[in-house]
Amino acid sequence: MSDPSPYLFPPVSPSRSGMLAVDDLHTIYWEEVGNPQGVPVLFLHGGPGAGTSPQHRRFFDPRHYRVILFDQRGAGKSQPVGETRNNTTQLLIEDIETLRAMFGIEQWLVFGGSWGSTLALAYGQAHPERCLGFVLRGIFLCTRLEIDWFINGAQWFHPEIHEEFVEAIPPAERGDLLQAYYTRIMDPDPDVYWPAVRGWSRFEGRRVFLMPQPAEPSCDSVDLGLGRLEAHYMVNLGFFDENQLLRDVDRIAHLPAVIVQGRYDVICPPVSAWRLHQRWPGSQIKMVPDAGHAAMETGISRELVAATELFRRQGRFA
């Protein structure tokens, strides 16, 4: 793995953490990091279903920022893992507002990558008055074209990975791989859904970095959360109207934004970041020439920290 550590802040532990019941089914994990009197930041993880990690705390100067991180419904330490009932973008936005009120925060900087960029845009467009600005990475607008690319575009750059993904599905169902995997992932039989969620997670994970990485041990909870929630949200087109997030950029276009994008991102190709930048005249775009999709690639991490430091130095939140 390329080493992002020269650019990240030192490891930091949460000052507070806990579990919050957001309805009768879902309980979400949250944590607070940094200066309790600092500029508030909301961190939104990707996937959906990927969850947060200790590395995510390190994009922010803990002396200046008060960072709120949480695992979205069905992800990470939130319970139940992989649960798709009562799990929509609109409900995630409600959870964010519940957390904001719980922490007594009026406005915050919104930071998100991949699906986190999708949710950041959706939240900002629903509640622009609560946002100070945005740091966004690996833009995913959740359009039909992007979803089709995620499933079928892999064959153009990673044909061997795509072939493995396809071979798990009977020939008669290969015309709609998303639906075929969704049907298996949501099957109640563990003998059916476990191979499907593991295959889905492997299919994505092997394409995240520009350069091949050593294989990491499989984690059932990560595979279940990622496989079920990604398939669930993709089948439902993110619970958006087509092109909704680009259409409604005007609601947040008065706010500052930095967009960080890997030039060779094959999960969320750069065209979406470019389209967002064109619709958002005040935004800055940082196209990283030697990176793919992963936040922990050296160039991506460098630009994400540079973005949070830019906002800190400019005092854009006064």
Which pLDDT tens digit goes with each residue over 225-270?
Answer: 999 999 999 999 999 999 999 999 999 999 999 999 999 999 999 9
| Cα 115 to the center of its chain, rounded Å | 3
> Residues 223, 232, 293, 301: which is the catalytic one?
293
Q: Which of 26, 78, 114, 223 is catalytic?
A: 114
Question: For residue 317, what pLDDT is reported?
Answer: 45
Let me know whether 27 and 132 are in one domain. Answer: yes
Residue 162 known to be catalytic:
no
Tokens, residue 217: 């041990």
- Domain of residue 281 covers 16-141+240-314
- 3: in domain: no
Number of domains in the chain: 2
Domain shared by 225 and 249, yes or no: no
Q: At what angle do helices 89-103 and 115-126 cross, to 10 degrees?
A: 70
pTM of the model: 0.96
Whether residue 252 sits in one domain with residue 104: yes
Q: Which of 93, 110, 67, 81 is nearest to 224 (CA)?
A: 81
Domain boundary, last residue among 182, 207, 238: 238
Catalytic position from the list 232, 265, 277, 301: 265
Q: How far is CA 49 from CA 28, 80, 123, 191, 199, in A?
A: 12, 12, 17, 21, 15
pLDDT in tens, 26-49: 999 999 999 999 999 999 999 999
Q: How far is CA 58 from CA 4, 10, 163, 256, 304, in A?
A: 10, 6, 37, 22, 10
Same domain, yes or no, for 103 and 225? no
Asked about 250 being catalytic, the answer comes back as no
Q: Are residues 109 and 212 in the same domain?
A: no
In a domain, 10, yes or no: no
- In the residue annotation, 265 being an active-site residue is answered as yes
Q: What pLDDT does 318 receive?
A: 37
Helix H or strand E segment including 225: helix 220-235
Q: Are residues 128 and 259 in the same domain?
A: yes
How many CB atoms sit inside 10 A of residue 166's CB?
17
Say if 8 falls within a structural domain.
no
Residue with tokens 């973005």, as numbered in its chain: 307
Whether residues 177 and 304 fall in one domain: no
Mean pLDDT score, 48-54: 97
